[in-house]
């Protein structure tokens, strides 16, 4: 890492003296986040590098000099820019397929997190408990075909998801196709996407537009074009943002296996290139961002933070985002090798439990030491190819809510920890 990078992302007097915990070591230790106690992690770190013992307190103090912006910049330059410059980019009909969605992240309760992210009240009448928890709102724009988080933010828990989505759009290009869930199809965001010439497919809530309400009742055709205007209560806001007062869109009705209807709104108006029956496949791609959040929260245990302050929360969040991109880059060849295997009943892919464990265990060799990168890459690839995950395309696992008792039992006795 260059001295300029270090200077930009550290506090004024941070890392200027020779210390046991240098800027680079702190960066790797944060990326290598573990569910073990900090002191055990510091002991392992000292043994690995054959260096003097470091206390958990020393690490906690040293990381205060590091700014979380270092991980944002690292993801932008070492993952996103590198992949789209040199990688083999998958597209759908010439478009990158980008899904945008938000998710609440429970944070540790601390004066700095309470101030930065706010609190949300809860009242459990069954357990006769009430109080507040600190939550942040994560918002991610994710390339679902290439598995790259192009832009990510962690915000106040009561932030507006629509405004956060608009913030992501500055990182898009004209050949991008944006997918959204039903929280997003407001006139404001539809008109903004149209005026910026961005293509979109968005699921509509049942009461969003009059055309949707009719189509939900199975009235009219499955494919309808319409001209939308803003609700009278939103006209001043639309004028303030200098957005168009009317837009042309297309509503698509899809019947689910349950017999229910799902309505999509899009500005992909070319029916020859995008026929009605293609939109079920297009919208299904949005599931990729749901899987991404699942990896963050379950496989990588994002909500088990290594510190309590707002800054350590930011560090853990953005370093985890970077780690997912690094995993995508490092496992690309392994995925290709697995896809080329012919003597298997089902297609296979790299097991995330294996890949994240390997990367975390070898983080210092990858990002800090001067070892032979080629030999290390071959070693990692061999690990990635062990115990691959089987892809069963038609398999459907019913979604159901579990009681707190079952969730606790799963966490204690069933769930396998990666790191």
Residue 76 lies in a domain: no
Which of 235, 262, 289 is the last residue before a domain boundary?
289
Same domain, yes or no, for 232 and 347?
no
Q: How do residues 81-137 score in pLDDT, each as one tens digit?
A: 999 998 789 999 999 999 999 999 999 999 999 999 999 998 877 767 788 999 999
Same domain, yes or no, for 34 and 156?
no
The pLDDT score that the predictor gives to residue 88 is 86
Residue 75 lies in a domain: no
Q: How many domains is the chain partitioned into structurally?
A: 3
Q: Any idea how long the chain is?
A: 419
Question: What's the mean per-residue pLDDT of the chain?
Answer: 91
Same domain, yes or no, for 101 and 247?
yes
Question: What average pLDDT does this structure show over 306-318?
Answer: 97
Question: What average pLDDT does this structure show over 53-58?
Answer: 93
Which of 289, 318, 349 is the last residue before a domain boundary?
289
Residue 36 lies in a domain: yes
Same domain, yes or no, for 346 and 230?
no
Residue 250: band (very low, low, confident or very high) from pLDDT cuts 50, 70, 90? very high
Question: What average pLDDT does this structure show over 171-184?
Answer: 95
Q: How do residues 160-176 score in pLDDT, each as one tens digit?
A: 999 999 999 999 999 99
Same domain, yes or no, for 133 and 243?
yes
Residue 379 lies in a domain: yes
The pLDDT score that the predictor gives to residue 341 is 86
Q: How do residues 189-219 score in pLDDT, each as one tens digit?
A: 999 999 999 999 999 998 889 999 999 999 9
* Domain carrying residue 41: 1-67
Residue 139 lies in a domain: yes
Residue 391: band (very low, low, confident or very high) from pLDDT cuts 50, 70, 90? confident
Residue 326 lies in a domain: no
Same domain, yes or no, for 143 and 208?
yes
Residue 306 lies in a domain: no
């Amino acid at each position: 890492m260059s001295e300029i990078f270090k200077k930009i992302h550290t506090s004024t007097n941070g890392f200027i003296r020779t210390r046991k915990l240098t800027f680079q070591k702190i960066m790797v230790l944060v990326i290598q986040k573990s569910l073990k106690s900090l002191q055990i992690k510091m002991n392992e770190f000292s043994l690995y590098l054959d260096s003097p013992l470091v206390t958990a307190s020393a690490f906690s103090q040293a990381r205060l000099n590091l700014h979380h912006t270092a991980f944002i910049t690292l993801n932008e330059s070492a993952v996103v820019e590198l992949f789209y410059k040199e990688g083999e980019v998958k597209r759908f009909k010439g478009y990158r397929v980008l899904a945008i969605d938000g998710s609440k992240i429970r944070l540790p309760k601390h004066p700095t997190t309470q101030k930065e992210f706010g609190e949300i009240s809860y009242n459990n009448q069954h357990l006769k408990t009430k109080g507040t928890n600190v939550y942040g709102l994560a918002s991610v724009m994710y390339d679902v075909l290439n598995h790259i988080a192009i832009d990510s933010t962690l915000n106040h828990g009561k932030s507006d998801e629509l405004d956060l989505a608009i913030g992501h759009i500055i990182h898009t290009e004209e050949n991008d196709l944006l997918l959204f869930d039903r929280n997003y199809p407001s006139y404001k965001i539809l008109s903004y996407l149209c005026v910026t010439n961005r293509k979109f497919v968005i699921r509509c809530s049942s009461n969003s537009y009059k055309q949707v309400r009719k189509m939900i009742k199975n009235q009219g055709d499955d494919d309808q074009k319409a001209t939308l205007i803003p609700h009278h209560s939103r006209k001043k806001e639309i004028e303030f943002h200098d957005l168009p007062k009317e837009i042309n869109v297309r509503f698509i009705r899809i019947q689910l296996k349950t017999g229910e209807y799902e309505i999509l709104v899009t500005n992909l108006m070319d029916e020859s290139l995008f026929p009605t029956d293609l939109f079920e496949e297009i919208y299904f791609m949005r599931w990729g961002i749901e899987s991404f959040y699942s990896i963050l929260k379950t496989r990588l245990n994002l909500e088990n933070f290594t510190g309590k302050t707002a800054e350590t929360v930011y560090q853990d969040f953005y370093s985890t985002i970077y780690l997912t991109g690094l995993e995508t880059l490092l496992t690309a060849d392994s995925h290709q090798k697995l896809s080329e295997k012919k003597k298997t009943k089902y297609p296979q892919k790299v097991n995330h439990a294996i890949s994240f464990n390997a990367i975390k265990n070898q983080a210092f060799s990858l990002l800090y030491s001067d070892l032979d990168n080629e030999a290390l890459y071959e070693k990692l690839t061999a690990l990635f190819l062990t115990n691959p995950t089987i892809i069963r395309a038609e398999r459907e696992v019913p979604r159901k809510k579990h009681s707190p008792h079952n969730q606790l039992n799963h966490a204690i006795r069933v769930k396998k920890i990666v790191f």
